[in-house]
Amino acid sequence: MQTVSVPLGERAYDVRIASGLLDRAAEYCLPLIPGKRALLVSDQTVYALYGQRLTEALTAAGVRVAAVTFPPGEASKSLATYEKILQAAAAVPLTGGDAFVALGGGVTGDLTGFAAATYHRGIRFMQVPTTLLAAVDSSVGGKTGVNLPAGKNLVGAFWQPRLVLCDPDLLQTLAPARYADGLAECLKYGVLWDEALFSQLEQGALFRVTEEQTARCVELKRDVVLLDERDGGQRQLLNLGHTIGHAIEQSSGYAVSHGAAVGLGMLLMARLFCPAIAGRLARALEANGLPTQLHLSLTQVAEALTQDKKRVGGEITLVVPQQIGQCELRKLPVAEVQNLLCSVEAKEEMA
């Protein structure tokens, strides 16, 4: 078992990574649920695959488990689903010593965390990630929230889980493209801070990210969360590839998946600011089942950047690669970034 501790004082918790953990969940959850009641939150697909097993594991240890489910997909990350979860918690009723348990990917984890942060002004919750993306990124660090029609993650709170239990066996049922979405985040950690991790993954790791590599990604995220829990500075490095990636997702009408968009976003950043690594990065993305060609106009992507919620005034903070394993934050006028993107497109058209 790999264990990564997140020492955040009275909000400290462990991320445990081991094959078979789902059926042994009670061993780790029970001490954290003194009230012995839990609300399992999951989408319908994940619940059908793993809900019963987790319920049985907890019930056998004396925890009374209720469940609430919702349709899979980003559309469920809404105020309506959030209310449904709160109503289910009140029907149990969950109280102070009880817990929410998020079984699923990023949508489920973010929704459950936000419900836990606000129900009774905050009760405990645990994460059981079922996607690689949730295992290496969204289940750790305490960002929770829901979308509004006006944009993604516009309502939320920082609320740390009390435990993250990652059983890599659960990731084997993912579609290859969903697993690859998580690989984009793993490669991102390599580009940001760890050339050795990048070299391990660059030949292709579809369904083969090891427990040690998962733990390494979590450690890298943990380290930046410890420096900047509330996302005011260094944590923004985690946005590598995301600013342009979000613009790509949005201008494709969400036809380009999150991981694919982040990979393309990283590649564009490399081509614009660090061409020396662009070829290696493109080969790594290809080997990991991620696209390297954008079938969209960069002018359209540049246009979508004007709607980025992280822009402050006319400026945007980009994460700029300097070499594999080192990046920096750079504040630039949005108009300058848009011009750069349009110039890449113009160059390609002339070539």
Q: Which residues bind ligand GLY (CB under 6 A)?
A: 137-138, 141, 143, 231, 235, 238
Shortest reach from residue 114's CB to ligand GLY, in Å: 14
Distances (CA, A) of 232 to 227, 269, 311, 317, 329: 10, 22, 13, 12, 12
Q: Which residues of 58-67 are buried (b: 16+ CB within 10 A; e: fewer)?
A: beeeebebbb
When the beta carbons of 57 and 238 are compared against ligand GLY, the nearer one is 238
Shortest reach from residue 225's CB to ligand GLY, in Å: 7
- Would you list the DSSP string of 19-30? TTGGGGHHHHHG
Shortest reach from residue 137's CB to ligand GLY, in Å: 5
Shortest reach from residue 309's CB to ligand GLY, in Å: 14
Pairing of strands 151-158, 124-129: unpaired
When the beta carbons of 56 and 231 are compared against ligand GLY, the nearer one is 231
| 338 three-state secondary structure | helix
Nearest to 188 by CA among 280, 278, 281: 281
Shortest reach from residue 198's CB to ligand GLY, in Å: 19
When the beta carbons of 142 and 168 are compared against ligand GLY, the nearer one is 142
When the beta carbons of 199 and 234 are compared against ligand GLY, the nearer one is 234
Distances (CA, A) of 191 to 146, 166, 199, 322, 325: 29, 24, 10, 9, 5
Phi then psi dihedrals of residue 331, to 5 deg: -85, 125
When the beta carbons of 84 and 246 are compared against ligand GLY, the nearer one is 246
Q: List, in sequence order, every beta strand (DSSP E) within the chain.
A: 2-6, 13-17, 37-43, 64-70, 99-104, 124-129, 143-148, 151-158, 163-166, 315-323, 326-333
Shortest reach from residue 219's CB to ligand GLY, in Å: 14
When the beta carbons of 179 and 189 are compared against ligand GLY, the nearer one is 189
Shortest reach from residue 235's CB to ligand GLY, in Å: 5
When the beta carbons of 108 and 338 are compared against ligand GLY, the nearer one is 108
Rounded Cα–Cα distance for residues 131 and 108 (Å): 11
